[in-house]
Chain A
Amino acid sequence: MASFGAQVQTAGLSIVVLDAAHGGTDPGARGTGGIRESEIVLDFAIQVRRALELQGFQVVQTRQGNENPSFDDRSATANAQRGAVFVTLHISSTGMQGTARVYVNSDLTLVADSNGLIPWDRAQGPFLGLSKTFGDLVQRFLAQRFKGSPEAAQTASVRQLRTTAAPAIAVEISSVTVEDRADLDRMAPGVADAIARGAAAFKPSYVVSNTPGALP
């Protein structure tokens, strides 16, 4: 169970928890040219981090090397923060080259007991509305940069997002099937800028209790 205590004071958005997906024994999507999702997202994370720091955010990464924390460990990193959003970075195996999609979790049945305790496995439930707002903002900036990308965030049952008690999005870039890795590397600054601008634009919408992992 995740604890959601009394909501007295509110905290502003100041932290972005950045998750480079996969890692360690899990390479994620693999391209024919030896491109590994786990390596590229880590490189992307470096640029995203810089862009976020320029916007005044503190950045916490779920991994900085070739490790593979569990889904729950990655969520726990986010759930321990106050005033945070969560962004998980992915590279797909399919989809139109040079596009980027933002996903937010699909509807989750909200179940809380009389003490306001929300089961860990549905921690994202209370944040779905904020996640959608955040996701739409980031997707809008991505669509401006990368033609063919959707205009609004899409819903999907992404496992990593479900246990995260914060506004949370997955950003997936297409794809590892590029012939030259440089094609993906060239997208990194645009992706970083879109996420950072999206997070900055989301700041006024972010109103949650200052309790770690608190309900919005």
Chain B
Amino acid sequence: MTPRWKFLLAGGLIFVVLAAAIYFPILRRRVKRTAKLQQQSEEQARRELTQSVVINPGDPRVKTKLFWASDTIDSTLVPVTVELPLSNDPVLRSKQVLNTLLAGPVDVELRTLPPDALLLAFYLLPDGTAIADFSEALATSIPSGIVSEQLAVNSITRTLEANVPQVQRLKILIHGQEMETLAGHLDLTGTFVVSTKAASPAASDTPAAPISGALTPDKTPGRLAQPEHGP
């Protein structure tokens, strides 16, 4: 090989190394951006799916009990009665009441769930076990602690118990995954008992009679949900 070719070859190699040094960081940024966009698209798709379950004004208006924090008794729940058009289908109905629960009360101090948490999916098995899949914000934005985590889960289970008699137990997933705890304390590996009464399909077909007035807080404090670990 002549010195001229050696020079050209060395020059070519240096060019390739320099080009790679410049291009690889750009490529890495693009890959990261694509992954982020993909994640955002997935979240966006989930949001759109979630938002498609909206209150249908054509549904019969039903007295609906939503459990938020009490403003008088520390760390307890009180039912707030609102009149909402709710579907007779237990899955749609569950999504409607949970989305309303997530939207929160007028007084933000009485929230039990983080404002940015979303219900991503809801399933109901034939045995009455419901599976609610929430966005990561439910776990990451909730104040850490036994009392706050238990209050959050209780507000969900009690709201389902009061409005969807078909739901007997509840399994909570975070972004499609089973988590060991909600935010470091409350056990999410089992299911929570929602109702010990037998499922009554007839009840779902006969919504409660509409009542006048909205946002009527009852005085009964909430009670703790009992988790259940199946065999």
**Chain A residues proximal to chain B, CB less than 8 Å:** 21-22, 26, 28-30, 37, 71, 90-96, 99, 101, 103, 106-109, 111, 121-122, 148, 154-160, 162, 170, 172, 174-175
Contact = CB atoms under 8 A, between A and B. Distances in A.
A27 to B, nearest CB: 9
Contacts of A174: 147
Q: Nearest 6 CB-CB pairs, A to B? A: A93-B143, A92-B145, A157-B227, A159-B187, A157-B187, A29-B144
Contacts of B189: 121, 159
Interface stretch (B55-63, B88-96, B178-186): B178-186
Contact of A90 (B145, B229, B231): B145
Contacts of A159: 180-181, 185-187, 189
A92 B226 contact: no
Contacts of B192: 157
Given A121-B189, A156-B224, A101 B143 contact: no
A107 B230 CA distance: 11
Interface string B194-231: 00000000000000000000000000000011111111
B187 A95 contact: no
Contacts of A107: 226-228
A28 B184 contact: yes
A95 B225 CA distance: 18
Could you say which of B143, B187, B230 has the most chain A C-beta atoms within 10 Å of its C-beta?
A: B187
A84 B192 CA distance: 29
A176 B5 CA distance: 72
Given A37-B144, A99-B74, A162-B187, A155 B226 contact: yes
A94 B180 contact: no
A96 to B, nearest CB: 4
Contacts of A162: 187, 229
B169 to A, nearest CB: 12
Q: Secondary structure at chain B's binding surface: helix, strand, loop or mixed?
A: loop
A103 B75 CA distance: 14
Interface of B: 74-75, 143-148, 150-151, 180-181, 184-187, 189-190, 192, 224-231
A106 B226 contact: yes
A29 B143 contact: yes
Contact of A94 (B145, B226, B227, B231): B145
Contacts of A26: 184
Nearest to A155: B224
B186 A156 contact: yes
Contact of A175 (B145, B186, B231): B145
Contact of A95 (B74, B224, B226, B227): B74
B139 to A, nearest CB: 13
Could you say which of A154, A157, A175 has the most chain B C-beta atoms within 10 Å of its C-beta?
A: A157
Contacts of A157: 150, 186-187, 190, 192, 225-227
